[in-house]
Structure 1
Amino acid sequence: RLMAAFTGEPKKLDIDQCRRWAADFDSWEIVDSVADLFAETPFWRELVDGFAEDDREFVRRTAFAMLAWSTVHLKKEPDATFIAYLPLIERHASDPRNFVKKAVNWALRQIGKRSMSLHAPALALAEKLAASPDRTARWIGKDAVKELTDAKQLERLAARKT
């Protein structure tokens, strides 16, 4: 499966094939590798939305791993696309399952590090989560705040002027 993730061509995948693969995911390593491939398909947003609502741990992780990868690789995607996913992140920030919470955290941090225009809304959500009574949301928020307020991260963002 890892070989397929590394050699797969996003334009040759179809959405049903992606869903079938996701149904068999059983490790974070597979998820994170394949999510990178899925994030470059033309239907990646539809996959994120569907996978996020799936109760299976590794399928839900796929949604947030795809978000994290897409913020890095999809340079031409407008920032508005990622702002629109902040409510999804907030909605699933209370999922206590280890592999889900880490991917939700990863997606939030990556969105906040993509550009100056995304930094403020991502940091605001991170601060809101950090103040949450929910233990998982609080962990996600505190960890994201720590990274998004790091001096080196802020310096890097300011240098990009976006």
Structure 2
Amino acid sequence: MARFGIDTELALGIRNAELRPLARKIRRNHERALDLWQTGIREARLLACFSDEPTKVTVDQAWAWVAEFNSWEVVDHAAALFVEAELHDAIIEPFAADEREFVRRAGFATMAWGAVHLKKHPDSVMLAWLPLIERHAKDQRNFVKKAVNWALRQIGKRSLGLHEPALALAEKLAASDDRTERWIGKDAVKELTAPKTFDRLAAKAKKA
């Protein structure tokens, strides 16, 4: 885990492949999830993310949790919970504006998950996130730039309607003089112009 940049100071070494089935077995419980989070233990916090009740997760809880983030892994799974709780409108912009590395990552991880899982929301929701991606694409910190890139790719792969503006932004970043913007843009262009991406989007459009 340490090799992949995961904080192991309070880790037990239990794999996610074991934690997820456990979460399904114990079912969702909000109060228990809050208690699990308070332990500070990696696996307990992941289990909290997997088994909390989305309808009871609040913006205050999201802020309390992000203030204690110390690992990208926990960030990303908590962001998935925030999307389930439909907190995206309230947290993405302020999280992205926050200078703390893992809080900013949480904003873009929430974008990435939202682009995939907010299926009933119009594309205009994700379109409004592109300016935030451009605004923070110069952040050189590893865990931020990778999340910015992740969000851009996921938005571009959501639909044909979003593909064009996301690709246009990716190409703009790829041509930048800034090294971080260039890396984010080039990597996104590579995936967004891949034949399999076009095929999947075309197939999705036919089903719509």
TM-score band w.r.t. shorter chain: over 0.9
The number of residues matched between the two structures is 162
Where do 1:1-150 residues align within 5 Å?
A: 1-150=45-194
> TM-score, normalization: structure 2?
0.77
Q: Which amino acid aligns with 1:30?
A: V
Take 2:82 and 2:46, find their aligned partners in 1: how far apart are those partners? 13
**What residue is the counterpart of 1:151 in the other structure?**
195
Q: Shift in Å at residue 9 of structure 1? A: 1.4
Query: What's the secondary structure of 2:119's corresponding residue?
Result: coil
CA deviations 1:6-49 (Å, max 9, x no partner) are 00111111111110000000101000111000112233221111
Gaps of 5+ in 2: 1-44
Take 2:53 and 2:117, find their aligned partners in 1: how far apart are those partners? 15
Q: Which runs of 4+ in 1 moved over 4 A?
A: none
Take 1:42 and 1:27, find their aligned partners in 2: how far apart are those partners? 23
Gaps of 5+ in 1: none
Take 1:43 and 1:107, find their aligned partners in 2: how far apart are those partners? 16
Take 1:118 and 1:102, find their aligned partners in 2: how far apart are those partners? 20
RMSD: 0.8
Which one has a bigger Cα radius of gyration? 2
Q: Which amino acid aligns with 2:114?
A: S
Percent of paired sites with the same residue: 64
Higher relative CO (CA 8 A, sep ≥ 6), structure 1 or 2?
Answer: 1
Query: What's the secondary structure of 1:114's corresponding residue?
Result: coil
